Amino acid sequence: MDSALKLAIEEFKGIDLRNISQRSGATLNKERIKIDYLNQEYSIHLPEVEISYINFSEDIRPPHYIDNDKEVSSREKIIILHYLNRSKGTPLSDKLIDFREIPGGNLYYSVFENRVHKPFLKVFGKRPSLLLEASFTLKGTKTDFGDSSVRILVFPKVPITFIIYRGDEEFPPACKVLFDSSIGDYLTTEDIVFVCEDAVGKLIKNG
């Protein structure tokens, strides 16, 4: 993990910060870049590329948001830097695709099912009505798929739709996770697995 973080930092130091901020939806000033990941704002301090949480008062965001004095994990840092390094500024296509339609998605699909689908179904499969409420702290918005579904903007340019099908006497509950077809211009396939795993973890915590 440390070597992956070092590589991400070195790549980040070599990019044009103004361009990458415009392409990624981050905000830039002379001393730092600010970026949202799963409705938590992070600060990337320049030029040392140190990443920290930005604290919020209770009247701005839900009160459970992380305090400034807690250290950002290496995993979060890598995901954030990968997103910034990779962002191409591609507009949303509004064409939704399944994970298997992402380059390399078939190769990672069993991993995706184990890390994302299974825990998601375990909590919301028989209680789809809880999904919208659980997405509140992630600024989830209701969509019209399945028995319950929400759209979560995990990064400024990366919306992900989580869908639950209740099932019946003949079929067990099922789920889908859909992405805008532009997602490959912002995250690698492996990073998409991590991002969805993090999103589902937060939904489960709130469910």
Under DSSP, is residue 122 helix (H, G, I), strand (E, B) or coil?
helix
pLDDT digits (tens, 9 = 90+) for 82-92: 999 999 999 99
Report the pLDDT value the prediction gives residue 56, as an integer from 0 to 100.
54
How many percent of the chain have pLDDT more than 70? 93
Domains and CATH numbers, the chain: 2-86 (no CATH), 96-206 (3.30.310)
> What is the model's pLDDT at position 66?
46
What pLDDT digit, counting tens, does each position of 164-193 carry?
999 888 889 999 999 999 999 999 999 999
| Spatial distance between the Cα atoms of 46 and 61, rounded to a whole number of angstroms | 26
pLDDT (0 to 100) of residue 60 = 41
Given strand 32-37, what is the order of strands in its sheet?
A: 27-28, 32-37, 40-45, 50-53
Segment 111-161, tens digit of pLDDT: 999 999 999 999 999 899 999 999 999 999 999 999 999 999 999 999 999
